[in-house]
Structure 1
């Protein structure tokens, strides 16, 4: 099936003249599926993209049912009941001390929320607990069903086929999803039409402008070929937002070291340190308390924009 996946060769989505430079080639490190994929950089605007890439009809084979974000966003049965007041207070204190800048949101009262790429629904579940009315869009039918079984309205399919909502949204979020979209500009335009005039757009994406992109190259954990179709820097994501009718408000560099540790794991694994490499590769899924232990270093690297992941806030341009 993989061998029959059709590839497409498309120009820069910002409309630049054909002026691409090859940056690197790599393969699917997450699942070990076959295929070699190339990243090119538009020499006019600087936007990097995977090209050629699997078509929208064929990309699904690179998203098996055990794909990490689908499994990792399942809501545990024990958490589906309301948390105790003590647990809520403890979580609030921890959030005040350790600001990881991962799912960082503007200060908003509750309203209508759309999550693009909601996976199995854990973020929707959390936001309902804070008084939000939520809806989701999810490419995976199985993951979307898990979210829908919690009682949330979720469109199963790509954002391009999602129907117009009954009411506009106050907040639209997408956690590590924009880089997966075949047509990010038209998708962002669609989201703009669904947003209230004062709405916020919050997205997290890998930062290909950080040192780990240059250091690890094809072994970079967040490269995630061929699922990641675009490879943003703070400068290029601002251009994409502007072309889509949004204005970049703020860039939060995430205070986690998942990219660096997992990428080091890939390098060690290839050098024969199989067990150590495997444990480091699995770090993002099982980091737990280590995020707190490593916080001083991640805080320092984030101050220089070098942790490899960023969360951006944008406003609808009127």
Structure 2
């Protein structure tokens, strides 16, 4: 029996201009990008100088805002993992980008490792003294106190298989920390098919709180869900650019603020950090 319904149609505003459907999975309360590119074709959708997470670019307003917020968020991420682990320990960052989070964690005495499939991003990380592997398969048999995925899970094609691998990588009693956009936020509803965090087809899945809890319910307990309040501003700026062509918009800041204010009541923010504890 088909448990998918059409949700909306959007397009790749960053690279290809191709159209994609988002379909709603009623069982998991998540959206799926359709069609999903074949694994060997996914790489070409990341081939853009504007794909900020694979660069350290600071030119232009959006890049500057992104890098400024990233610097602030790195400190908060390090505090969060310290709290979740009750001190420092071993850390694996999946989809580590250019290695900035691992660099800060390493400087805070964490024993760090990371995975990043993008060659350019791995090279930039290496310049910072962070050696990244290109596949989770290379960590087989290892376990970590904390495993993090900062805006990564939505990019992964083989979701069920990856969740199984992630489960094995977390020590019993250890933490899995996942940050993903929330399609139930006010800014997502407001911008509709222009919402930048849909980011098709790089984002293959679009999660709700229910979806994350359900996907990880067998081996993990949800301990806390934290908002990423700056995401609404950045995503709204980019969404406004897609919608109007303007690279700067005061309206975007208002929508970002409104999303956070509404999120304070609804608890549906632009992005969430999910802190999960592996059952011993």
Name the TM-score, length of structure 1 as normaliser.
Answer: 0.73
Q: Distance in 2 between matches of 1:216 and 1:206?
A: 14
Aligned to 1:120: 98
Aligned to 2:89: 111
Q: Distance in 1 between matches of 2:156 and 2:192?
A: 22
Q: Distance in 2 between matches of 1:62 and 1:246?
A: 33
If each structure's helix is expressed as a fraction of its own residues, which one has the higher value?
2
Conserved 8 A contact 1:101-1:253: no
2:192 to 210, 217, 239: 217
Q: Distance in 2 between matches of 1:68 and 1:186?
A: 27
**Structural RMSD (CA):** 3.0
Q: Which runs of 5+ in 2 are unaligned?
A: 59-70
Go from structure 1 to structure 2 and tell me whether the alpha carbon gap of 1:296 and 1:181 turns closer, same or farther (over 3 Å shift): closer
Name the TM-score, length of structure 2 as normaliser.
Answer: 0.82
SS at match of 1:236: helix
Aligned to 1:134: 112
Q: Distance in 2 between matches of 1:102 and 1:209?
A: 27
Deviation of residue 266 (structure 1)?
Answer: 2.4
Aligned to 1:36: 19
Deviation of residue 122 (structure 1)?
Answer: 0.6
SS at match of 1:278: coil
Aligned to 2:68: none
Aligned to 1:197: 172
Conserved 8 A contact 2:237-2:247: no
Question: How many aligned residue pairs are there?
Answer: 260
Go from structure 1 to structure 2 and tell me whether the alpha carbon gap of 1:190 and 1:127 turns closer, same or farther (over 3 Å shift): same
Q: How do 1:1-318 residues align onto structure 2 when only pairs under 5 Å count?
A: 17-31=1-15, 33-64=16-47, 66=49, 67-72=51-56, 104-105=80-81, 107=83, 108-157=86-135, 159=136, 161-164=137-140, 167-243=142-218, 245-256=219-230, 257-269=233-245, 277-280=246-249, 300-304=261-265, 305-318=267-280
Larger Rg: 1
SS at match of 1:182: coil
Q: Which runs of 5+ in 1 are unaligned?
A: 1-16, 75-90, 270-276, 284-289
SS at match of 2:39: coil
